[in-house]
Chains A and B, each alone.
Chain A
Amino acid sequence: MSATASQAITLQSKFSLKEWIFTTDHKRVGVLYLVGSFAAFFVAGIMAMLMRTELASIGPTVTSNPTTYNMWLYFHGAAMILGYQIPALTGFFTNYYVPLMIGAKDVAFPRLNAFSVWLFWMGIVLALLTFVIPDPPDIMWTGYPPYSVITPGNTALYTFTVLLIGFSSIAGGVNFLTTIIRMRAPGITWNKLNIFIWCTMAAFVIQLIFVPILGVAVTMLSLDKYLGTHFFDATAGGTPLLYENLFWFYSHPAVYVIFLPAVGIIYEIVATFSKNRIFNYKGVVYGGIWGTVILSGIVHGHHIYVSAIPDWLVMIQTITTLLISIPVGLLVIGLVGTLYKGSIEFKTPMLYVAGFFFLFLIGGLTGIPNAMSAIYIHIHGTQWITGHFHYVMAVSVTTAIIGGTYYVWPKMTGKMYNEALGKLGFLLFFIGVNITFFFTMYIGVVYGMPRRYYDYAQFPQIEGIQKVITFGSYIILLGALVVLISWIHSLIWGEKAPNNPWGSKSLEWTHTQSPPPQGNYTEPVKVSEDWNPYGYGK
C-alpha cells in the first residue's frame, strides 16, 4: 500500500517532460490525447469565432480575402472532427477509462499505445502547419475533387494529416479491441461491461473497417494532383463521384465513431448520478450499439443524393438512412429509462447530460429530413445541414466530452472542481449553442442560405439573423472560457478529491485511489458473482 501511495504521489509532484513524452502508462497517454484534442478544439474554435464575425455583416468584416476565410473553414472542420472529437473520445476517454473499467493494469500493447498518441500529435502539428505554409489547403474537410486537384492550395497536407491520424486510430483500434477481449478482470463477463466499453468496441470496429477507405480516397486525391493519375477526372475516364462515395463511405460511419463513445459517457454519467441500473441493458447493447454499427456502412448515400447517383440507390439509401432511427431510438429510450425510479443529483456532469438530452433530441430529429431524398434536394448544402450536424455531432457530443471531463476530473487530477463555475459554464454553453445553431438551421431552410459562404450579398434579408447567430457564438466562447477557468481553478485551488466522490459502483471509482497509481490497482481485481457496475439499490 505504501509503495503504491508513493507512486501516486510521484505521478502528481514531479514533472518530467521526458517521462510524459515516452510514457506508456495509459492514463498519461490519455492525458496527452486530452491536451492535444483540446488544443485542436481551441484553435478550431478561434477559427469559428473569426468566421462568425466575418459573417455578421455583408461584405468584408474581418478579412477581404475569401481564401483566408476558406482556410479557416477548412481548418475548423478538419481539426474539429479529426483533431478534437475523434481523439478526445477514442483517445482520451478510451485510454483513461477502458483499463480502469475492466480492472486491467494497462492496455494490451502499451508501446503501440504510445505510438498512437505520437502519430496523433504529429497529425496535430501537421494540421497546424496550415497557418505557416504558403498556399494552405482551402478544400474543406471533404476535399472534393476536381477542386482539390486543381486548387493552388496544398492538398498533400490534408492527405498526410488524415493518414497520420488514421494510422493512429487503426493502432488504437487493434490495441483496445485486444484489451477489452483479453484483459477483463476475472468475473467481468460480457453482460457486465460498462456501456462505455461496449461503445468503445463498436467505435473501433467501425474505425478498423472504414478508416482504410478514407486513407485510400485521400491518397488517390494526392496521386491525382501530384502524380497525374486520373482517378477522379471525368474527362479521362475517372469520376469525382468515386471520391464522394469513398469519402462518405468512411465519413458517415465516422459520425457513429463520434456518437457512440459520446453516448457511452452519457450513459456512465446518467447511471452514476441517478444511482440506477441501465434500462434494458441488453437492448441498449445489442440493439442500440451494435444495430448502429450494422447500419453504419449502408447509409452514406444520403450525403450525395443530388450528385446524380442512380435512382435505385437513392431509394435503398433513403430507407436504410431512415432505419438508423431505430438503434438510435433504442439508445435514447435506454437513457431516458435509466432515469425512471432513479435518484438524480444535478451536479455539473449531470447538467451536461440534461443538456445532451435536449441537444441530441433536436440534432437527431432534424436528421430525419436529411434522410429523405426529395426533402434533401432543397436543404443539401445549406446552413440547415450546418445547423443540424452542429446540434447532433458538434455540440451534443461536446456536452458529452466536457461533461465527461468534469465527471472523470476528480479521478484524473485528484482534485475537486468548483460546482458554481461548472454550472455557469454549462449554462452559457447551452444558451449560446441554441441561439447559434437554431438560427443557423432556420436561415438554411427558410431562405436557402448555403454553407461555406464567405459572403451573402444575394441574401440581404438575413443580415439581422446572421448578427444574432454571431452573438450566440460569442456566448459559446464565454462558456468555453468559464469551463477553462474552472479547470485551472481546480488544478490550483481544488480540494483533494475522495476516491469515489460520486458514489459510483463502477470499478474505476470503487477499487482505486484518485488519481490511480501506476498499474491502476494495488492488488489484482477480482469481482464477485453479484457485482455489477450498475448494481445500485441493493
Chain B
Amino acid sequence: MNRKNFFIIAGILLILILRLAASGYADGIPDLRAGWDELWREMMIDILGIGIVFLAVTIYLLVKYRRKSPNEEGSAKKLTPLAAFGWIVIPVFIFMADDIFLAAKNFTLWNQYRNVPANAMVIDVEGFMWGWDFRYPEGITTTNELRVPVGKPVKLNLTSRDVIHSFFIPDFRQKWDAVKGKQNYLWFSAKTIGEHVITCTEFCGVLHSNMYGKIIVMPENEYNKWVEDNKPKGGAI
C-alpha cells in the first residue's frame, strides 16, 4: 500500500518537474499555434505520466497475484478507517492539484485566444451550405479563398446564412462556430508565407465534408497589390 502511494506521489512530482518550461512571445502578438502546441505537449507529459504509473501498478498486480492453486482465495484485509480515509483524501488532493494546475495554464491560453490584438484587420466571414464567403474592409469579396498579409493579426467576424458551421484552420489551431443570427469571432496571425486548409467542423448536411477552402498568406506588399487590383471600382461599399 505504501509502495503504491509512493509511486503515485513520485509520478506527480516527476510531472511537475518536467513542466518548468515556459512559453513567451517576441513581437507582442501571442503565437496561438506555439502556445497551443506547448500546452498540448505539457498535458501529454502529464497524462502519460499518470497513465504509465497506473498501467505499471496494474500490470505488476495482475502478474504478481496470479492464482497459484485452484482453491486459493485473496488475502487482503479490510482497510482501517484511517487508511480508507487516506485513500480518498490523498488521491483527491493529488487529482485536484493537477486539475487546478492545468486549469490555470488553460485560462492563460484561453485569454490569448479570446483577446484580439488591437491592430488586427477585420474580415467578415459568412458560412453557408456549403462554403465560406469573405468580405474585406476594402469591399472585396471572395469565396473559399482568404488572402491575408503575413505577420499581421486578422480578426474574422463569423456568422452563418443558414445552419451552424464551424470555421476551422487546423494549421493555426483555431476554430469557432458560425451561427445564423449571431456574430462570433476568432483571430489569428500567420507567421510564414504559405497556404493552409480551412474546413467545416460542425455537421451541416450533404456536402459538409466538401465545405473547405484555403488561406493564402502573402508578403505584405503583394497583399497590398492584390487589394489594389481587386478593389471594387468606384469606391468601397
Query: Which residues of A are in contact with B by a Cβ distance under 8 Å?
Result: 66-67, 70, 138-140, 142, 144-147, 150-151, 233-235, 239-241, 274-277, 279-280, 282-283, 287, 306-308, 311, 314-315, 318-319, 322-323, 325-326, 329-330, 332-333, 336-337, 339-346, 354, 357-358, 361-362, 365-366, 368-369, 372-375, 377-378, 380-382, 445, 447-448, 450-459, 536-537
B182 partner residues in chain A, CB cutoff 8 A: 234, 239, 308
Do B180 and A329 touch across chains, with their CB atoms under 8 A apart? Answer: no
Extra pairs beyond A142-B203, A279-B76, A280-B84 (5, CB < 8 Å): A234-B179, A307-B164, A325-B95, A336-B58, A537-B73
Do B50 and A342 touch across chains, with their CB atoms under 8 A apart? Answer: no
Do A311 and B114 touch across chains, with their CB atoms under 8 A apart? Answer: yes
Do A276 and B74 touch across chains, with their CB atoms under 8 A apart? Answer: yes
Q: A276-B74, A277-B76, A342-B74 are in contact. Are A146 and B50 (CB under 8 A)?
A: no
Q: How far is the CA of A46 from the CA of B168 in the complex (A)?
A: 31
Q: How far is the CA of A277 from the CA of B75 in the complex (A)?
A: 8
Do B197 and A459 touch across chains, with their CB atoms under 8 A apart? Answer: yes
B194 to A: closest C-beta gap in Å: 15
Do A140 and B203 touch across chains, with their CB atoms under 8 A apart? Answer: yes
Q: Which chain B residues numbered 84 to 116 have a C-beta less than 8 Å away from chain A?
A: 84, 87-88, 91-92, 95-96, 98-100, 102-103, 106-107, 109-110, 112-114
- Which residue of chain A has the shortest Cβ distance to B84 in the bound complex? A280
B84 partner residues in chain A, CB cutoff 8 A: 280, 282-283
- Which residue of chain B has the shortest Cβ distance to A455 in the bound complex? B209
Q: How far is the CA of A329 from the CA of B50 in the complex (A)?
A: 11
Do B170 and A354 touch across chains, with their CB atoms under 8 A apart? Answer: no
Q: Choose among B46, B106, B163, B203 the residue with the greatest number of A CB atoms under 10 Å from its CB.
A: B203
Q: A234-B179, A339-B61, A459-B197 are in contact. Are A318 and B103 (CB under 8 A)?
A: yes
A279 partner residues in chain B, CB cutoff 8 A: 76, 79, 87
Do B73 and A365 touch across chains, with their CB atoms under 8 A apart? Answer: no
Do A323 and B65 touch across chains, with their CB atoms under 8 A apart? Answer: no
Do B168 and A283 touch across chains, with their CB atoms under 8 A apart? Answer: no
**Residue B124 interfacial (CB < 8 Å):** no
Do A458 and B162 touch across chains, with their CB atoms under 8 A apart? Answer: no
Do A344 and B62 touch across chains, with their CB atoms under 8 A apart? Answer: yes
Query: Could you say which of B43, B46, B77, B206 contacts A70, with CB atoms under 8 Å apart?
Result: B206
Do B106 and A368 touch across chains, with their CB atoms under 8 A apart? Answer: no
Do A344 and B79 touch across chains, with their CB atoms under 8 A apart? Answer: no
Query: Which residues of B are in contact with A by a Cβ distance under 8 Å?
Result: 1, 4, 36, 39-40, 43, 46-47, 50-51, 54-55, 57-58, 61-62, 65-68, 72-79, 84, 87-88, 91-92, 95-96, 98-100, 102-103, 106-107, 109-110, 112-114, 162-164, 166, 168, 170-171, 173-177, 179-182, 184, 197, 199-210, 212
Do B65 and A340 touch across chains, with their CB atoms under 8 A apart? Answer: yes
Q: How far is the CA of A502 from the CA of B181 in the complex (A)?
A: 61
Closest 4 CB pairs of A and B: A448-B170, A234-B181, A276-B74, A381-B201
B76 partner residues in chain A, CB cutoff 8 A: 276-277, 279, 340-342, 537
B36 partner residues in chain A, CB cutoff 8 A: 374-375, 377-378
A-B contact pairs, 26 of them (CB 8 A): A70-B203, A138-B206, A147-B164, A240-B164, A275-B73, A283-B87, A308-B177, A308-B179, A319-B99, A333-B87, A341-B65, A341-B76, A344-B66, A361-B51, A361-B55, A365-B50, A368-B46, A369-B47, A372-B106, A374-B36, A374-B107, A375-B109, A380-B201, A381-B166, A450-B200, A536-B73
Q: How far is the CA of A332 from the CA of B201 in the complex (A)?
A: 33
Q: How far is the CA of A279 from the CA of B88 in the complex (A)?
A: 11
A313 to B: closest C-beta gap in Å: 12
A330 partner residues in chain B, CB cutoff 8 A: 88, 91-92
A378 partner residues in chain B, CB cutoff 8 A: 36, 170, 173-175
Q: How far is the CA of A139 from the CA of B206 in the complex (A)?
A: 10
Q: A275-B74, A329-B91, A358-B55 are in contact. Are A450 and B199 (CB under 8 A)?
A: yes
Q: How far is the CA of A536 from the CA of B171 in the complex (A)?
A: 56
B110 to A: closest C-beta gap in Å: 4
A191 to B: closest C-beta gap in Å: 11
Do A146 and B40 touch across chains, with their CB atoms under 8 A apart? Answer: no
Do A235 and B206 touch across chains, with their CB atoms under 8 A apart? Answer: no
B213 to A: closest C-beta gap in Å: 9
A502 to B: closest C-beta gap in Å: 12
Do B179 and A280 touch across chains, with their CB atoms under 8 A apart? Answer: no
Do A66 and B201 touch across chains, with their CB atoms under 8 A apart? Answer: no
A70 partner residues in chain B, CB cutoff 8 A: 203, 205-206, 208
